[in-house]
Amino acid sequence: MNNRIALLLALILPLTALASGGEEEKSAEPKVAYYSLVPALVGNFGSGPKLKFYKADIALRVTGSEAEEKVEHHEPLIRNQLVMLFSQQSDANMGDEAAKEQLRQEALRQVQEVLTQEEGKPIVEDLLFNNLIIQ
């Protein structure tokens, strides 16, 4: 009976070591994070006699804590780029879903361009409008 237990332990211990080693490799993979630009971007847009306002809650998708730290470091530059982009929009560019999607893609492109100039790579993988209010 003791031989069977010893044999069973001899077979199980290497398997548990392999299983725990696999978990360590998985946890070493960079994690996807969403960096929220807080507070929300607020400003006016368009031309004409009547002022139009926007409020945009934006999240940036990055992979890894190093990328998140770089985005946080460059947040003032990113915010400036996005405020400038939003302030240049017209009613047509902010009105319907298709126009908002084009605006989202242009915002992502500009953020990636700025980060490429500063860091040598785009860092941000996607830009999401958590909330976009136009008034």
Alpha helices by DSSP H, 1-135: 2-28, 65-73, 75-87, 91-95, 97-119
- Please determine, for residue 87, whether its predicted confidence score (pLDDT) is greater than 90: yes
**Full-model pTM:** 0.76
Residue 16 pLDDT level (bands cut at 50, 70, 90): low
